[in-house]
Amino acid sequence: MTTVRGLEGRRVVLTGATGGLGTAIARRLLDEGASVALTDVDGSALEHVAASLGGDTTVLALDVAREDDWQRVVSALQDRWGTVDVLVNNAGIGSTGTVETETRERWDQVLEVDQRGTWLGMQHVGPVIERGGGGSIVNVGSILGATGGLANSFSYAAAKGAVRSMTMNAALHWAQRGVRVNAVVPAFIGTTALLGRYAGTERHAAMLANTPMGRLGRPEEVAAAVAFLAGDDSGYTTGSEVFVDGGWSAR
């Protein structure tokens, strides 16, 4: 079977590249011909991921919550590539605290990474994409930011709910300036980390029981949606959400 290389020549910045979902997204983008800047806070883990993937990758340590880190990364990529065509805001951390049990410390941590990090990525990379002739921003949201979820993960739901609003707002901002902004909204995805943490627990059972399709998603299914929004096949799509949720949003 011939591989469809719909992102041939595209230069992509991917955050959160060392997680199971990030690695699957990177692999799909590389398979479709993109050059991918893999970013995350753990430099050694990034090197390991890059070695496992092969392809045209660039490794850059990045704390998405730090503006000076974004400035450094964008400057380095402009020196290397000249411009950027696609940003995938995938980096995120979670919490299972409820509205009553969440701590202020964890609330701040989650919103710094998931909400502020997404904003800073758009703020610093979006203008580069525009000056380079246009392209795409893909924000990774969550079904927990679009529904009541499992009535916990309160700070994570707040941050991912903000990602939905920021996506629509930024899409309107750039709508006539060549930068499309969309979101992928996954439900529970069966990454190694998630299964290692929750397999066999009541939370795992609740994930399955509340998913109409009765299974966890696969990282590759989310990666396929990201690739679609990154490329020209979604050229008339902006301010939209692609739900990869096993039916959650239809309930």
User: In the structure encoding, which two tokens stand for residue 18, read together?
Assistant: 């060392």
- What are the start-end ranges of the H helices in the chain? 20-31, 43-53, 67-81, 104-110, 117-131, 154-174, 192-198, 202-209, 219-230
- Establish whether 156 is a catalytic residue: yes
User: In the structure encoding, which two tokens stand for residue 146, read together?
Assistant: 């679009």
* Catalytic residue (choose from 70, 154, 156, 243): 156
For residue 39, give the H/E element and its range.
strand 35-40
Residue whose tokens read 């011909």 = 33
Q: How far apart are CA 185 and CA 142, in angstroms?
A: 5
User: What is the torsional sign of CA 103, 14, 169, 184?
Assistant: negative
Q: How far apart are CA 41 and CA 43, in angstroms?
A: 6
Q: How far apart are CA 64 and CA 69, in angstroms?
A: 7
Residue numbers annotated as active site: 156
